[in-house]
Each structure stands twice: as C-alpha cells, then as structure tokens.
C-alpha cells in the first residue's frame, strides 16, 4: 500500500508492502500510515511526525503531544481521549484512568462490582485522582470532596418566653435576644416557635427577601426557601395572647378594657399588634371607629353592632385564649379644600405700622402645604394673585396660625385682610375680608401733671398719668427727682402702657425742697410732665409750726387736729395733717386777724381767711403764722 505525502510532487511514493512489517520510527514526512506489528494500526501525523489520530497503543515519546487518540492496549480495552499539549487527556472514556486526567467519565469496577455507572473525575492539587460526583446503579448521586456554600439565617426574639427551632440542623433552642444558623442555598426551611407554659407566641416580623412571607403571621411556624444571602427574621413571645388590628382609613379605638390599661389607637394604613393588655375573662371587648364611618369589620369579631359607626365585639370569653385578628375598613371620603373655623381673621394690637393677626384651619383631608395672610390697602378680599409682600406665608399644616405680627404698614391707613390655606384640592380664603385702620404717625406719649403723697424725711410717693401712647406701645413710664429744676436723674420705671401709676421713691435728703416729674417712653421718644416740688420732713419726722402772738400777752393760740378738741399746739406735725388754729384774747383784748402766714399756714393770712377764727389748713411744709389781738 502506497500513499504519497506530496513532498516530491508525486514522483516519489512512500509504501508499506505488508501488514507484517514492524514500524519502529514513523517518517517525519508521513501524512497517513497503515502499519503492522503487534497488530494493525492506523494513524495520521502532523508535519513533525506527531500523531494527530491514532489507534491501538497510547502514543508515547515523540507521539506524546497527540491531540486525539483511539487506542487499545492489553487489558486497558478501547479508549477515546482528547489530550492537552503535554499529552494529558482532557476527556477520557475508559475502564480506568491515570492521575493526570482532568476529567474522566467511566464505569467504576472497584471490588469487581460496577457500583458507579457514570463517574466525573478530576485530580486534586497533589495530582491524585479525586472523584467530584458519580451516578450510581441505584439512581443516586454521590458528591466527593465537595461542600455546598452556606448562608446565615439571623433570628431576633422579643420577650424571653419561648424558643425557636429549625426543621433541619442549624437552629435549636434559640431564645431571646436571638441566634443564627447557617443553611445552604435552596434549603426548604421551617422555623417553629414554642412558647413557655402559660405564655403565648405573638407574630413573625422583620423578614426580608425569602423570609418576608412570614411577616405578620401569627401562627408559630415560618417556612421559606433559603437563598444565597443572609436572611433576617424576628419573632415575639408575650405574657398574653396577641391582638392584630388592620386599619384601612380612619382610626380604631378600644372600649371596655380593664381600668389598668390605656385605650388603644391604630391609625390609617397601619397593622397594629397589642399584647400588653388583657380584659378580665369572660368579658366583652368592643372596638369602635374614630375619624370616619366604617364600612365593614372582618376577622374574629363575635358580632358587629351599630349601623353608621359600627362596633366589633369579641366576647364574652372570645379573647384571652388565642391570638386574634380583626380588620377595619373605612369608607373612602374624598378630600376637600381647607376649611377655616371660624371663617374670619381676628385682629389685635393695631399700631401705626403693625398689627397682630391669627386664624385656625382644618386640612379637608389633604395636607396643607402653605398658609398665610394677604393684607392690602387698595383691594378688598385680597388673594394670592396680588403676590408678595401683600400675601405672606405663615407656615403650613392644619390648626392655629398662632399670633402673626404683620409689620411694614402705613400709619393712619385702612387695610383689608384675608387668611388663606392651600392643599392638593385648592386654596381657601376667609370671607368676607376683615378691615382695620392703623394708628396715625407715632409721636412721644402724652403724660399729665405729677402727683405727690405720703412725704417723709427721706422720700415720698410720686406718680403721674399717661394719657396717650402716641401711636406706639409705651415701653416705660416712671418718675424722676432732684434738688434742681426739671430733673432727668434718679429716674425709676413703674410699668408700661397708658393710665395712672404711683410708686414710693426714697433716698431724698430731709428738710429739702425736692423737684420731681413723671415720664413715659415709646418708639418715638420720651415725654416729661411739668416740674413740681415738695419739701421733705425734718430728720425728726415732721414739719415745724411756729406761732406768734401780737402784742405779747394779748391772747393765746390753741390747736386741734379734728376741729373739736383744742389744746396746746405741737412744735411739729406729720405731713398731710389737718390743723385748726383758734385765737382767744386775754383781759380786755380780743382776736383781730391772722397775719404773716408762711408755708402751709399762709392759707390763714390770705385775704379770704385772715379774719376767720379758727383757721384751718393741711400742713405739707414748715409753717408759721401770727395772731393779732386788739383792745375791746
């Protein structure tokens, strides 16, 4: 048999004459060869002589870089493999395999019995063969030298009144505050909650991902399939059975609860759990609607009472044994624009350039995003269309606006004011508008004449009256005193605002003429009263009274403080004392007139009183007077 390798343009043939020839060296230029030796062989070589396809024996030596081989040798039997560039098989179908194989699919005859019908095999790091997995003749799959990756399931427990266990190894006797266990991805996991004696399981919560299916479940088992991620879950145990309330719209309240427990509130869109209260058993527990008309109760209500505001009743004895769930569904009420109550703007503290405003509003079922006041001197019922500064915001939300001080107004001007509030439905204004007139331009306050009373040797009670604030708040008012005219020192405040005031002033020298006046202050300035005077008492505590008789021995003078009882006159008298002076002639003399009066006693020698006997006056300073007597 001859095949041309093409190396000599067909002029030379490379031939093998019989199957009996033993070929020991394959020519480097052979492309195909049929050879005979220990048995018939066929192979194809590359240009370097390395076998590309071969049969019979496993290529060695120069043939080690074989890419594909069909071989048979001795007891090895037929074999098909694809080798790498170093001659190690990548895929090997055989009865047995070498340590250098990367993968092998073959029947295992260990012990003479084919226990594995199909085996996937690869070497370990040391080069020794390691089974990865195998299918057995019993239809099972066996894993060798391989462990699945695991992920944590983290359990949090509230209330140390029970335990959590898993259906597969990983979590056992788990108690508060919690624990964790590792599980392979794809594990069908069931967690079981077991409460202690006389205690109760509440509900599952906190689940995320695979465990989210358990959230809100009040039965003691939680089942899910693990994933390639950490998984959280929480469980609660309680001393009493748990009540679950689901609310759609409105608010749910609870009545007929024992006196040691606060009423319950569960708001719109909420799911609420209660376990810290227990009605006395047997009892009737009533749940009623707040904030809207309930459409339907569902769940563990024993009965439903009422028509418009319906009440869910559990009992008697319906609660206190097992967990309960009730659902309140409220009718949907369409929101409206905000509503003012009252529909007006109360106005106060009107000044020349400012005013205090307030209002109160409900949201109509939709959040108020802005609210405020519009104040205009030109437009009645002002609106937001007038822009700023006519309209100014006073925040957002429902309820009272509080007291808002609006400034920057013009003195002596008529203003229109409305309050406004805006939600998703629209804007509402107070109607009709409210009007007010600011005060005229601010001037200093007006203050009347000063007053004095209760004079002592070191002070007196001083005061005045503020008759007008001048168009702005009176921030201070009081009195000043000095020993010189128009004092601006020794000033002390006595309150604020308009009206009369008095206060005790001290620290004055005795027997001294004191100048004093009142003052009042606002934003425009300070006003003073006219200057006034009084004399403090002597250090001994009174005013002196000096009496003279002319001619000497012509008569006597007696004194009275009540106008009836006359007697000897004192040398001094307390300020403000009323005195009567009576002159009595001696011998052939009789009273003629009063003369040379000074101080308070000057009233006696005045033309209208000089012949009046007795003479009366109130002593407020050191005084003197002379009684004139004449023969009969």
- Provide the residue ranges of all domains of the chain, joining segments of one domain with +: 2-143, 150-238, 243-330, 343-437, 446-535, 543-631
Percent helix, strand, coil in the chain, to 5, is 5, 45, 50
Cα separation, 251 vs 333, whole angstroms: 14
Residue 452 tokens, joined = 């004095």
Cβ neighbours of residue 118 closer than 8 Å, sequence gap 6 or more: 105, 107, 134, 135
E-strand stretches of 226-369: 231-238, 243-248, 251-255, 265-266, 271-274, 285-290, 294-299, 303-305, 311-314, 324-330, 339-340, 347-348, 355-357, 360-362
Question: CA of 594: how far to CAs of 47, 110, 600, in Å?
Answer: 167, 159, 13
Cα separation, 478 vs 500, whole angstroms: 10
pLDDT digits (tens, 9 = 90+) for 528-541: 999 999 988 877 76
Q: What is the dihedral of CA 343, 348, 351, 356, to 10 degrees?
A: -70
> In what order do the strands lie in the sheet containing 399-400?
339-340, 360-362, 399-400
> With contact defined as beta carbons under 8 Å apart, do 460 and 505 qualify?
yes
304, 307, 343, 349: which is closest to 327 by C-alpha?
304
Class of domain 446-535: mainly beta
pLDDT of residue 290: 58
* Sign of the C-alpha dihedral computed for residues 512, 515, 517 and 521 taken in this order: negative
Question: CA of 219: how far to CAs of 150, 196, 373, 403, in Å?
Answer: 27, 15, 56, 54
Mean pLDDT by 10 residues, the chain (632 residues): 45 44 41 47 52 49 48 46 51 45 47 46 45 51 54 94 94 95 92 92 92 91 91 90 74 49 62 64 57 67 62 61 72 83 93 92 93 96 95 95 94 95 96 91 91 89 94 93 96 95 94 95 94 86 88 94 90 87 94 93 93 92 93 90
Cα separation, 571 vs 584, whole angstroms: 19
CATH 2.60.40 fits 150-238, yes or no: yes
pLDDT digits (tens, 9 = 90+) for 52-63: 455 444 454 444
Cα separation, 279 vs 286, whole angstroms: 11
Cβ neighbours of residue 399 closer than 8 Å, sequence gap 6 or more: 360, 361
> With contact defined as beta carbons under 8 Å apart, do 399 and 360 qualify?
yes
| First-to-final CA distance of the chain | 201
pTM of the model: 0.34
Cβ neighbours of residue 86 closer than 8 Å, sequence gap 6 or more: 64, 65
* Domains 343-437 and 446-535 fall in the same CATH topology: yes
pLDDT digits (tens, 9 = 90+) for 291-319: 555 667 777 776 666 655 567 776 655 55
> With contact defined as beta carbons under 8 Å apart, do 447 and 478 qualify?
no
Cβ neighbours of residue 129 closer than 8 Å, sequence gap 6 or more: 97, 99, 101, 104, 121, 122, 123
pLDDT of residue 346: 95
Residue 14 tokens, joined = 């490379």
pLDDT of residue 29: 40
Question: CA of 106: how far to CAs of 79, 95, 278, in Å?
Answer: 10, 6, 70
Residue 157 tokens, joined = 């427990």
Tell me the residue length of the chain.
632
What is the maximum alpha-carbon separation in the chain? 204
Question: CA of 286: how far to CAs of 32, 283, 321, 323, 330, in Å?
Answer: 99, 10, 17, 16, 17
pLDDT of residue 539: 77
Cα separation, 579 vs 572, whole angstroms: 11
> With contact defined as beta carbons under 8 Å apart, do 499 and 514 qualify?
no
pLDDT of residue 572: 84
Cα separation, 577 vs 561, whole angstroms: 7
pLDDT of residue 301: 73
φ and ψ at residue 415, rounded to 5 degrees:
-125, 150
The 10 Å CB-count burial string (b at 16+, else e) for 456-477 is bbebbebbbbbeebbbbbbebb
pLDDT of residue 424: 94
Q: Which single residue is written with the structure tokens 């097992």? A: 322
Cα separation, 529 vs 449, whole angstroms: 6
> With contact defined as beta carbons under 8 Å apart, do 474 and 522 qualify?
yes
pLDDT of residue 52: 47
Cα separation, 566 vs 556, whole angstroms: 12
Q: What is the dihedral of CA 374, 380, 381, 382, to 10 degrees?
A: -30
pLDDT of residue 281: 47
pLDDT of residue 283: 52
Report the Cα 472 to chain-centroid distance in Å: 40
Q: Which CATH architecture has domain 343-437?
A: Sandwich (2.60)
């Amino acid at each position: 048999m001859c095949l041309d390798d093409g190396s000599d343009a067909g002029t030379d043939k490379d031939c093998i004459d019989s199957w009996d020839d033993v070929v020991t060296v394959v020519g480097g230029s052979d492309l195909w060869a049929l050879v005979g030796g220990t048995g018939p062989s066929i192979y194809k070589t590359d240009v370097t002589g390395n076998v590309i396809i071969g049969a019979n024996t496993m290529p060695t030596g120069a043939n080690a870089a074989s890419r594909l081989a069909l071989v048979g040798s001795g007891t090895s039997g037929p074999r098909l493999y694809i080798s790498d560039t170093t001659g190690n098989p990548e895929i090997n179908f055989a009865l047995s395999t070498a340590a250098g194989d990367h993968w092998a699919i073959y029947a295992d005859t260990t012990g003479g019995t084919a226990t594995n019908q199909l085996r996937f095999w690869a070497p370990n790091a040391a080069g020794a063969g390691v089974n990865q997995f195998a299918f057995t003749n019993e239809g099972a799959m066996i894993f060798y030298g391989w462990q699945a990756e695991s992920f944590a399931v983290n359990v949090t427990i509230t209330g140390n009144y029970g335990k959590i266990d898993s259906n597969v190894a990983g979590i056992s006797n788990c108690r508060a505050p919690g624990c964790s266990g590792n599980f392979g991805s794809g594990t069908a996991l069931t967690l079981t909650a077991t409460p202690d004696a006389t205690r109760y399981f509440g509900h599952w919560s906190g689940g995320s991902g695979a465990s989210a299916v358990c959230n809100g479940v009040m039965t003691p088992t939680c089942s899910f399939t693990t994933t390639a991620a950490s998984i959280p879950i929480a469980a609660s145990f309680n001393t009493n059975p748990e009540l679950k309330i689901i609310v759609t719209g409105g608010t749910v309240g609870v009545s007929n609860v024992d006196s040691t427990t606060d009423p319950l509130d569960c708001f719109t869109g909420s799911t609420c759990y209660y376990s810290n209260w227990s009605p006395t058993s047997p009892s009737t527990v009533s749940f009623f609607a707040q904030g809207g008309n309930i459409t339907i109760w569902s769940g563990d209500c024993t009965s439903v009472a009422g028509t418009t505001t319906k009440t869910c009743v559990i009992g008697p004895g319906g609660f206190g044994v097992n967990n309960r769930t009730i659902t309140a569904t409220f009718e949907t009420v369409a929101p409206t624009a905000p509503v003012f109550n009252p529909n007006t703007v109360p106005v106060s503290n009107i000044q020349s350039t400012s005013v205090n405003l307030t209002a109160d509003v409900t949201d109509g079922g939709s959040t108020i995003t802005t609210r405020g006041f519009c104040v205009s001197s030109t437009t009645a019922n002002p609106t937001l269309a007038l822009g700023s500064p006519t309209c100014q915001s006073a925040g957002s939300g429902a309820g009272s606006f509080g007291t808002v001080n609006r400034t920057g107004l013009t003195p002596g001007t008529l203003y229109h004011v409305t309050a406004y509030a805006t939600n998703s439905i629209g804007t509402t204004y107070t109607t009709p508008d409210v009007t007010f007139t600011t005060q005229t331009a601010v001037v200093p306050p007006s203050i009347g004449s000063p007053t004095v009373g209760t004079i002592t040797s070191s002070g007196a009670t001083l005061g005045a009256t503020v008759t007008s604030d001048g168009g702005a708040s009176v921030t201070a008012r009081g009195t000043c005193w000095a020993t010189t005219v128009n004092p601006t020192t020794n000033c002390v405040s006595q309150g604020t605002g308009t009206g009369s005031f008095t206060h005790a002033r001290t620290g004055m020298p005795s027997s001294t003429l004191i100048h004093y006046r009142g003052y009042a202050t606002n934003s425009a300035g300070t006003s003073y009263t006219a200057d006034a005077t009084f004399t403090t008492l002597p250090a001994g505590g009174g005013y002196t009274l000096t009496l003279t008789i002319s001619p000497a021995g012509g008569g006597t003078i007696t004194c009275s403080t009540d106008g009836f009882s006359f007697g000897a006159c004192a040398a001094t008298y307390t300020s403000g004392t009323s005195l009567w002076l009576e002159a009595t002639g001696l011998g052939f003399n009789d009273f003629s007139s009063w003369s040379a009066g000074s101080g308070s006693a000057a009233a006696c020698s005045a033309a209208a009183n000089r012949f009046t006997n007795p003479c009366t006056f109130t002593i407020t300073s050191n005084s003197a007077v002379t009684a004139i007597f004449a023969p009969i």
